[in-house]
Structure 1
Amino acid sequence: MAATRSDGRQARWDKHNETRRQQIIDAAMAAIEENEPGADVKVQQIAAHAGISRTVIYRHFEDRADLDRAVQQSIIESLWRELHPAMSLDGTVPQIIRRIVGTYVGWAVAHPALHLAADHDPDGAVDGPLREGMERIATEVSQVVAAGMLVLGGTLSEEDARALDPLVFGLVGAVFGVVRRWLTSSDRQLSADALEKLVAQSVWFVVDGHARTFGLSIDPTMPVVELLEPERLTTTP
């Protein structure tokens, strides 16, 4: 019985710590967003937002780098929650690409300070939250592309399958880089809508070009659900 009570107290304490930790992360994100993108947000500002003292923050995070990593992870998660629903097969291939790119650009425009805050790895780490987030998105896209190629009648050699991962990761990174460049430009000559259109078209050109190397001709005017019907499948010589 005593062990059960002890376990119950520990569970409540763990829950309290988890809630407080998330409160601090949310406060940090709020502090970042109320400042200019790239501004140095002090721990005291975060503490003020959370309604706690600086010392309490360091009870839940080892140091500032640990806090920054947790905040970056939360930023990437918030972006993923926006992107994931957009990765459906509703519409034509160009429409799907435009929807995904548009969702990302829209999020970046709405949260420029968060976007910039996610755009570095704490302490120069090579496996920080941003990289992990890009890998997560690229992996999801790679799986969809590979499945789509096979369903549409394309052929993927072992070498082709291995090439998909770096290809898609590079494409995701390129899109991120274009949006980052646009967000940080002091003289934006493109509107958000024009940027979205340009990036979406560029992704479509890459997808269409590589599809043709796999022997596929994708009709850009036909919904994907119709493309997947057996009688609709076409291949190029």
Structure 2
Amino acid sequence: MTSEGVDTEPLDGRRRRWQEHNQVRRQVIIDAAIAVLERQAPGEEVQVQAVADEAGMSRTVIYRHFEDRSDLDRAVQRAVCEQVGVELLPALSYDGTPDQIIHRIVGSFIRWAEAHPTLYWFAERDLAGWGPSPLSQAVEQVAEGIEGIMAIVVAAMGVELSDDDRAALDPWVFGMIGAVFAAVRRWLERPVREPGIDACISILSESIWLQINGMALSRGLNLPDLPVAQLLQTLGPTDDASSEGGA
């Protein structure tokens, strides 16, 4: 028993260090793949050898850390989507009126996509047999942020949504944001990116706000033109706690 205890601890330590080493090597490979992508045009196939050269290792070493090409591609997609999440996180704050927040979120995303068109193209790629693209997580993150804003506004107005409206909120908002992502992809693919980026941001932001405001007006609601943070302060402790997820 004692001898097992003596032997196990060094083994666990070596295993942990080996796992950490593998994680570092995986990240080096992922970073190398992203660097190669950034130098290429959207749609241009990335060669594993180019990734290996960028990472300073052989193709054989790369496949020691990834099961196959699809595994590598999926890891790169996740890393790119994490970049999108980092870019969007500050925009998801409750600083500003609802339409200002929407404009800020859309603007942050479009500016990132314009700066990294190949990464956006790669993140959207459908890897057969691997389930939904990691980019859907970014769509969900934005949709949840906008849902949170809408929930605060509705609660501050003392409005009770119908069961159908409440149930439809998630797919409706998800669909709106998904449409923006698709519009940005189309805009990036145009030979000449028209309209200009500022106009593109304004038009897509306005389209979201008009849908939200239009749905509210059709139900007799006049949305207040007040900062969401101010509306949040008007809520009681119960409502406030239920809305914390988007803060």
Report the TM-score, using the length of structure 2 for normalisation: 0.86
CA distance in 2, matches of 1:179, 1:227: 31
Residue 122 (structure 1) aligned with residue 127 (structure 2): yes
Q: Distance in 1 between matches of 2:105 and 2:210?
A: 15
Correspondence for 2:153: 148
User: Do the aligned partners of 1:208 and 1:218 also contact (CA within 8 Å) in 2?
Assistant: yes
Q: Structure 1, residues 147-203: CA drift from partner, whole Å, max 9, x if none?
A: 432233221222212101110110110110111000011132210111011111111
Aligned to 2:56: 51
2:206 and 2:44 map into 1 onto residues whose CA distance is 33
Amino acid across the alignment from 2:227 = P
For 2:146 and 2:100, how far apart are their aligned partners in 1?
15
For 2:238, the equivalent position in structure 1 comes to none
Q: Deviations over 1:23-54 (max 9, x none)?
A: 11111011000111221110001111111110
Alpha-carbon distance in structure 1 between the residues aligned to 2:89 and 2:219: 27
Where structure 2 has 5 or more consecutive residues not aligned to the other structure, the ranges are 1-5, 236-247
Q: Distance in 2 between matches of 1:182 and 1:189?
A: 7
- Given that 1:29 and 1:71 are in contact with CA atoms closer than 8 Å, whether structure 2 keeps it comes out as yes
2:228 matched to which residue of 1? 224
Query: What is the identity, as a one-letter code, of the residue corresponding to 1:120?
Result: R
Query: Aligned to 1:32, what secondary structure does the other structure show?
Result: helix
Letter in 2 for 1:54: R
CA distance in 1, matches of 2:194, 2:142: 28
Preserved contact between residue 121 and residue 129 of structure 1 (Cα < 8 Å): no
* 1:91 alignment partner in structure 2: 96
Structure 1 CA distance for aligned equivalents of residues 234 and 147 of structure 2 = 23
1:124 offset after TM fit, Å?
Answer: 5.8
> What value does the CA root-mean-square deviation take over the aligned residues?
1.9
Q: Is residue 2:173 matched to residue 1:161?
A: no
Aligned to 1:18: 23
Relative distance call for 1:126 and 1:12 in structure 2 (3 A) is closer
The answer as to 2:73 corresponding to 1:65 is: no
Once residues 65 and 106 of structure 2 are traced to their aligned partners in structure 1, the CA distance between those partners, rounded to angstroms, is 36
3-state DSSP of counterpart to 1:118: helix
Taking the aligned partners of 1:148 and 1:219, their CA distance within structure 2 comes to 8
Q: Which amino acid aligns with 1:96?
A: I
Tell me, what secondary structure is at the counterpart of 1:90? coil
Q: 2:101 is matched by which residue type in structure 1?
A: I
Instruction: Look up the match of 1:174.
Output: 179
Identity fraction in percent: 47
Q: In the alignment, what sits opposite 1:196?
A: 201
What is the match of residue 76 of structure 1?
A: 81
Mapped to 1, the partners of 2:25 and 2:134 lie a distance apart of 21
C-alpha change, 1:148 and 1:125, in structure 2 (3 Å) is farther
Equivalents in 2 of 1:230, 1:63: separation in Å?
54
Identify the residue that residue 234 of structure 1 maps to in structure 2: none
Distance in 2 (CA, whole Å) between partners of 1:80 and 1:114 is: 13
3-state DSSP class of the match of 2:90? helix
8 Å contact from structure 2 (residues 43, 121) kept in 1: yes
